Structures are given as structure tokens and as C-alpha cells.
């Protein structure tokens, strides 16, 4: 386990081994996520962002929410024009 201390200014020094392992460099954004009584420290690196590629990709035959909304609006407009 690695440990660090918080300075009087509220700053935290990340141990070098962890910085190297997770690619944390000066200027890297860090998200702090509260999970119960724990704090998760998530560096936002290129690798982290790339891990989301394709997560929201539609499967063949699926329609996006925007497409469904536009089609529903078109059907409503058609119904109103027929009246």
C-alpha cells in the first residue's frame, strides 16, 4: 500500500510509482468519486477516454433516441395534417 499526506493547502502528492503506472503527468485531470465511505481517485488520461470508444455504439437495426424522436414527431405532424 502506498500512502501520502495532505498539505496545509489541501494538496496531495501522488507517489511516483502510481503516477508512472497510471500515466499521471503534470496537468492530468483527476476525478474524485465518492462511493460510500471511500474516495475513488480516477485520472482522466487518453487511455481512460479511449476506453469509452464504442460503448454507446448502436447495434445493427437499432435506432438512436434522436432518430426515434424525429420519427415520432413526423408521425404526429402527419396525423395533424390529415385532420
Q: Provide the pLDDT for residue 37.
A: 96
Flag whether 8 is in a domain.
no
Flag whether 40 is in a domain.
yes
Q: Provide the pLDDT for residue 59.
A: 80
CA torsion angle for 68, 59, 44, 29 (degrees, to 10)? -10
Q: Provide the pLDDT for residue 18.
A: 92
Residues 30 and 39: beta-carbon distance below 8 Å: no
Flag whether 4 is in a domain.
no
Flag whether 73 is in a domain.
yes
Q: Provide the pLDDT for residue 34.
A: 95
Q: Provide the pLDDT for residue 9.
A: 95
Specify the number of domains making up the chain. Answer: 1
Domain range for 45:
16-82
Q: Which three cell numbers stand for residue 7?
A: 498539505
Flag whether 7 is in a domain.
no
Q: Provide the pLDDT for residue 55.
A: 66
Which residue do the cell numbers 415520432 mark? 72
Flag whether 1 is in a domain.
no
Spell out the per-residue pLDDT of the chain, length 83, in tens: 888 999 999 999 999 999 999 889 999 999 999 999 999 998 988 777 777 677 667 888 888 888 888 999 999 888 888 87
Q: Provide the pLDDT for residue 68.
A: 86
Amino acid at each position: 500500500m502506498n500512502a501520502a499526506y495532505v498539505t496545509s493547502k489541501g494538496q496531495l502528492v501522488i507517489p511516483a510509482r502510481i503516477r508512472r503506472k497510471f500515466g499521471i503527468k503534470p496537468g492530468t485531470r483527476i476525478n474524485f468519486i465518492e462511493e460510500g465511505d471511500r474516495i475513488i481517485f480516477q485520472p482522466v488520461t487518453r487511455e481512460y477516454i479511449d476506453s469509452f470508444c464504442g460503448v454507446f455504439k448502436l447495434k445493427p437495426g437499432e435506432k438512436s433516441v434522436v432518430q426515434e424522436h424525429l420519427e415520432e414527431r413526423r408521425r404526429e405532424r402527419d396525423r395533424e395534417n390529415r385532420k
